[in-house]
């Protein structure tokens, strides 16, 4: 599997992740489906819930790479895709960093644009400049709101433009560096800005010199950290629940198949036992006829021996088949 913690954003631009594949699909079928887009240079197919597990995913997923990252752009542009009854879900591979630990695991249409944290007094460029800067990412901006002088909330009509912006760091509008990140919880962002505005309002009457030399309120940093931890915990819980649902679905399918196979073998064993009993009764019947024929008609001895031998052979074959079924069961 591609390791997003060790690869750079530039390297990951060559990768695309394909999810919700049909159960039991073969690697060659995936290759043939995406053959019009050129040959894969990397192919990581995940069929099991864990490396050493025997439990199969109900919907496998695969991560593929191409020599040319433009192919990934073309694939994402031509969505949606469908194989059989399964509508595929495609997304780009993002790096995992300490600053953005969850971006590689979530897909959202909202994005936060803010000034660099190292420059708390900077102001974002005007709205038109930001919108023009975002245009190469593609997609349509459905919602644009300046939350304050340092923060803008943007919502696209698709999740891919957000992933493109995350892969394209660092960002500069003119000579000013800005930060872009996925909006994991809009309520937390708005609450953090409201706290900052309330804190600023409470300090209006403070001496200007003291304000200019006082470091930012550490409470805001702690609150932001708590908000980030809450978002991380919420996402981890959601991922765990999704993983649990996949595991339960896979186990249920396996248990149902095993139960059906057991019932089939039990029925075969019963049928085989019935046939064996019938052949044994038939064998005794022919033995009785043979004995009577020897006493009454010695000239039919050869015919009786042939029938007896045939009945014995059928009985022997049925007994062997019954014993083999019992061993398999």
**pLDDT score for 137:** 94
Give the pLDDT band (50/70/90) at residue 230: confident
109-164 residue pLDDT tens: 999 999 998 887 889 999 999 999 999 999 999 999 999 999 999 999 999 999 99
User: Residue 99 to residues 96, 108, 226, 259, 300: CA-CA distances in angstroms?
Assistant: 8, 17, 14, 49, 98
Give the pLDDT band (50/70/90) at residue 297: low
**pLDDT score for 26:** 92
Separation CA 14–CA 33 (nearest Å): 18
240-295 residue pLDDT tens: 777 777 777 777 777 787 888 888 888 888 888 888 888 888 888 888 877 777 66
**pLDDT score for 232:** 74
Going 286 to 288 to 292 to 298, the CA torsion angle's sign is: positive
Pick 308 or 78 by higher pLDDT. 78
Average pLDDT over residues 35-62: 88
Q: What angle do CA 232, 87, 181 make, to 5 degrees?
A: 30
Pick 26 or 208 by higher pLDDT. 26
């Amino acid at each position: 599997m591609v390791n997003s913690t060790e690869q750079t954003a530039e390297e990951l631009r060559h990768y695309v992740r394909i999810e919700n594949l049909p159960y039991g699909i073969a690697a060659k079928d995936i290759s043939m489906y995406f053959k019009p887009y050129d040959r894969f240079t990397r192919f990581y197919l995940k069929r099991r819930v864990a490396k050493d597990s025997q439990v199969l995913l109900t919907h496998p997923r695969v991560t593929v790479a191409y020599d040319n990252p433009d192919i990934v752009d073309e694939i994402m542009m031509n969505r949606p895709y469908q194989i059989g009854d399964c509508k595929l879900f495609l997304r780009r591979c993002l790096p995992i960093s300490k600053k953005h630990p969850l971006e590689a695991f979530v897909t959202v249409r909202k994005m936060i644009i803010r000034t660099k944290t190292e420059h708390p007094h900077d102001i974002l460029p005007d709205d038109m400049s930001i919108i023009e800067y975002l245009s190469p990412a593609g997609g349509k901006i459905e919602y644009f709101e300046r939350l304050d002088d340092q923060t803008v909330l943007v919502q696209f009509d698709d999740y891919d433009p957000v992933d493109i912006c995350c892969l394209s760091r660092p960002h500069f509008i003119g000579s000013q560096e800005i930060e872009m990140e996925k909006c994991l919880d809009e309520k937390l962002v708005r609450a953090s800005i409201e706290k900052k505005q309330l804190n600023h309002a409470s300090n209006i009457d403070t001496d200007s010199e003291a304000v200019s030399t006082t470091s930012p309120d550490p409470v805001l940093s702690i609150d932001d950290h708590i908000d980030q931890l809450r978002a991380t915990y919420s996402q981890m819980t959601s991922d765990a629940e999704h993983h649990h649902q996949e595991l339960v679905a896979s186990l249920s399918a396996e248990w149902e198949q095993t139960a059906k196979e057991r019932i089939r073998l039990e029925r075969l064993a019963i049928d085989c036992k019935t046939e064996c009993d019938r052949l044994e009764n038939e064998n005794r019947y022919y033995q009785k006829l043979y004995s009577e024929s020897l006493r009454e008609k010695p000239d039919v001895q050869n015919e009786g021996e042939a029938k007896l031998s045939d009945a014995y052979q059928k009985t022997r074959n049925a007994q062997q088949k019954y014993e083999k079924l019992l061993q398999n069961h």
